[in-house]
Chain A
């Protein structure tokens, strides 16, 4: 799956977690813009892992701050 396809897939997966319905951009940060708490992060990561059949370890999650970085990481992991 190329980056654009991963982007649209992750974009739809984030919808139920985007409670404030903010417009998602590559620079949208999970902690500040989306205001994800640790439980939301766990559920959201689990949804992505299940969709792409990958592991995003906590070590990798620590490096991912915004939407664009997540799409990059998922694109790399599923190849």
Chain B
């Protein structure tokens, strides 16, 4: 019998320390450390110990007005919504433990899709576990190798990731530039599949896309059109269907993507469409198939919330008023804003740099106001933004209080 020998691995030179895969993050680690060393509260690890209402919470121990939660319609504490969630939790349990295409479709998921079909007046609705997964799944399944996706350069990360996952040819154009989009569509080779991806409201600056012209141009070139209405649902358009409804192009939009984590007030994502073959998406969208479905309580709260949003015109009017008041007040104080006029429930305040942006964020938090600190690479043109998102539950008086906080903080930091 021969001796058992191990594989030939060469002389033993001790363990190879290799390359630390984390070294690519060193610049970010350093930047973050510098910020924290300057004594600023970490803007990216805030904890809300108690949530008192859609507009108030105890944050890092302080009573705080919430102005950066995307809770546009204040549905998170609606008594009907909460009751529906409680009932579903009791009757159907805490989770489905399964994919939508296996054991994860309950009565509640179907009812939620029915509510969406009614809300949008569309034939098909498909509910995903998050809005991110809705974009990831639909875009990657629709546009594959050899197809072309033409999209705005300021698109959300979930759109970019969907493009990358599908391996289509990705052709971006300058933000909201109709002519640049038109030219790129015109250069796509004959016979190739074309998908145009747009957003109703762009969340960083709170500006709206010129959808009327853009959808017309996309259709002129025979492209299918997908519009992400995450930040407009429930608020913009006569029935709260979004910017596409507001400008009257719903019939020419092939797919609307949305989320439950903003106006609807819970978590989840969806796609609605009138395409006759749409149902096949349930079998070909990997982020739909290979993940567990939403818990029964979540889809139950979403259904009730969506149905209540259909009748939310008074709340919509108040939210618009809040947005106008905040925009005008901040402008009067001398802050630089993302848009000349308020176009959505997002008001972006442009900071001179990350350092003063973080100082301003902290000064506001100490005043008792929470806003989002947004910084590159998530922001366009390397801007640092303090992003404010209003809620229909903010009172007029609260908006005045908020303006007072901005004035004091802005003067302390030396921005105004």
Contact = CB atoms under 8 A, between A and B. Distances in A.
Interface of A: 37-39, 42-43, 46, 49-50, 53-55, 57-60
Interface of B: 148, 153, 167, 169-174, 180, 183-184, 187-188, 377, 381-382
Contacts of A49: 183-184, 187
B329 to A, nearest CB: 31
A39 B184 contact: no
Contacts of B377: 38
A50 B381 contact: no
B169 A57 contact: yes
A73 to B, nearest CB: 14
B170 A58 contact: yes
Contacts, number: 35
Which of B148, B167, B183, B188 neighbours the largest number of chain A CB atoms within 10 Å of its CB? Answer: B183
Contacts of A50: 183
A34 to B, nearest CB: 17
Nearest to B160: A58
A55 B188 contact: yes
Nearest to B189: A55
Contacts of A38: 377
B164 to A, nearest CB: 9
Contacts of B171: 55, 57-58
Nearest to A55: B187
6 contacts: A39-B382, A43-B174, A46-B173, A50-B183, A59-B167, A60-B169
Contacts of B183: 49-50
Q: Ordered nearest first, which 3 A-B pairs have the shortest CB separation?
A: A57-B169, A58-B170, A55-B187
A59 B168 CA distance: 8
A69 B137 CA distance: 34
Contact of A46 (B148, B169, B174): B174
B173 to A, nearest CB: 8
Contacts of A54: 187
A59 B147 CA distance: 12
A8 B174 CA distance: 26
Contact of B180 (A39, A46, A57, A60): A46
Which of A43, A54, A55, A60 neighbours the largest number of chain B CB atoms within 10 Å of its CB? Answer: A55
Nearest to A54: B187
A53 B185 CA distance: 11
A60 B153 CA distance: 16
B143 to A, nearest CB: 12
A55 B184 contact: yes
A54 B173 CA distance: 13
Contacts of B184: 49, 55
Given A39-B382, A50-B183, A58-B172, 16 more contacts: A37-B382, A42-B153, A42-B172, A46-B180, A49-B183, A49-B187, A53-B187, A54-B187, A55-B169, A55-B171, A55-B184, A58-B170, A59-B167, A59-B169, A59-B170, A60-B169
